[in-house]
Amino acid sequence: MPTLFEPTSFGAIKLANRVVMAPVTRARAGKDSVPTPIMAEYYAQRASVGLIISEAVGISRQGLGWAYTAGIWNDAQVEGWKKVTQAVHEKGGKIVCQLWHMGRMAHSSITGEQPVAPSPSTGPGHIHTYEGKVPYEEARALRLDEIPGIIESYVVAARNAMRAGFDGVQIHSANGYLLDEFLRDGTNHRTDAYGGSVENRLRLLREVTEAVIAAIGAEHVGVRLSPNGDAQGTIDSNPEAVFIPAAKMLNELGVAWLELREANPDSHQAFAGATEQPKLSPEIRKVFHGSLVLNQEYTRDTAMEAVSSGKADAISFGRAYIANPDLVRRFQEDLPLQEYDVTTWYGPHGEKGYTDYPFAK
């Protein structure tokens, strides 16, 4: 049986081990959403991982409504990301770009327009803006004639990612953002071709994935789903009826890999009720035959068991990578993990809590 530290491949991407760095928003870009030099240092420090999934990266100004986060819709952003991918590759690592449209979770103070969603709705809690944390705003429903432009934004972003030197992309369809909002009947109340039946709610994910595959090749494409809940209050009355068909569809489209963020009872990010929904990864494993990556609250031992037993092909770690740039070595040698400083997670804190965590001696 495979081990967590053996090589594998996700389509065209060859991984030195089966530890994956999950996407972790750190908000260290400029107000122009251009990656900054310190971001290249941060990712290069973590290049010993089998694959880095970048922080969520905005595909358009409309889709990026969180302060100090990075985009990939213009040439300046591409040039900024080139420095990041070059630094990772010089260390022998692999990195993909997570393509992000925030949907109803964006804010007009950053995007310059009312947030958009499948249907009018308001996200729970607060968002980080340049003026501090503020409540989410009500989103308006996307018009049918706007949807082709959304799809084209994903295509442009995917092409830009490859131009920037990324090894591939991950389509972010989880965590309560736009594509996830279309999947779930808790946020999708449309009565047109993009709402109602499961097939209709899957339509936008299908069309985006097909378009990105046509642009850069399925061997460079992965997708992220959060079948049994997320931290954004985006729910569905019957997740099994949505996410197993979604995984089957993605398998038929030929995406190279699929990452599942699955809430656990001890997850501090799980919203009320999320953990009452069973994990769907065992059933998804039966219908998705590409590489399967599992995420959420894994430890060294549970990750090793999940890979060796065949439950997953790799395991992704998010918060553990904030304070442990050498996580693979710490796992291999069973070294203690460092604790992160939550006050430095987001915003323009420079190197503090970002690039100043020491490597094991």
Question: Given this model, what pLDDT does residue 265 score?
Answer: 60
Contact 245, 227 (CB under 8 A): no
Using CA atoms, how far residue 230 sits from 63, 95, 243, 312, 352, in Å, is 19, 24, 14, 20, 28
pLDDT at 230: 62
Domain membership of residue 353 (yes or no) is: no
Instruction: Output b/e per residue, 291-317; b: 16+ Cβ within 10 A.
Output: bbbbbbbbebeebbebbeeeebbbbbb
pTM above 0.95, yes or no: yes
Residue 170's closest CA among 56, 252, 64, 312?
56
Domain containing residue 217: CATH number: 3.20.20.70
pLDDT at 6 over 70: yes
Whether 350 is in a domain gets the answer: no
**Which residues, other chains included, contact 337 with Cβ-Cβ below 8 Å and sequence gap of 6+?**
320, 323, 324, 327, 330
Q: Out of 43, 136, 177, 354, which one is annotated catalytic?
A: 177
Q: What is the pLDDT of residues 144-203, one digit of tens each?
A: 999 999 999 999 999 999 999 999 999 999 999 999 999 999 999 999 999 999 999 999
Q: What is the pLDDT of residues 251-284, one digit of tens each?
A: 999 999 999 999 766 555 444 445 567 899 999 9
Mean pLDDT of the chain: 95
Q: What residues have CB less than 8 Å from 268, skipping those under 6 apart?
A: none
Residue 360, in any domain of the structure: no
Please confirm, yes or no, whether 177 is among the known catalytic residues: yes
pLDDT value for 347: 84
CA distance 331 to 132: 37
How many structural domains is the chain composed of? 1
How confident is the model over 296-314, as pLDDT tens digits?
A: 989 999 999 999 999 999 9
Whole-number percent of the chain with pLDDT over 90: 90
Q: Which of 128, 134, 127 is nearest to 68 (CA)?
A: 128
Residue 167 amino acid letter: D
Residue 299: CA count within 13 A, CB half-sphere: 8
In a domain, 354, yes or no: no
3 within domain boundaries: no
Q: Are strands 19-21 and 51-58 parallel, antiparallel or unpaired?
A: parallel
Residue 203 in any domain: the answer is: yes
Taking phi first (over 0 means left), then psi (-120 to 50 degrees means alpha), and beta for anything else, what does residue 176 get? left
Question: Which residues on adjacent β-strands are paired with residue 138?
Answer: 122
Q: pLDDT tens digits, residue range 68-89?
A: 999 999 999 999 999 999 999 9
Q: Domain range for residue 98? A: 8-344
Q: With 70 as the cut, is the pLDDT of residue 67 above it?
A: yes
pLDDT at 225: 97
Say what the pLDDT of residue 271 is: 43
pLDDT of 270 reads 43
Classify residue 349: in a domain, yes or no. no
- Does a structural domain hold residue 358? no
Give me the residues paired with residue 20 across strands.
51, 316
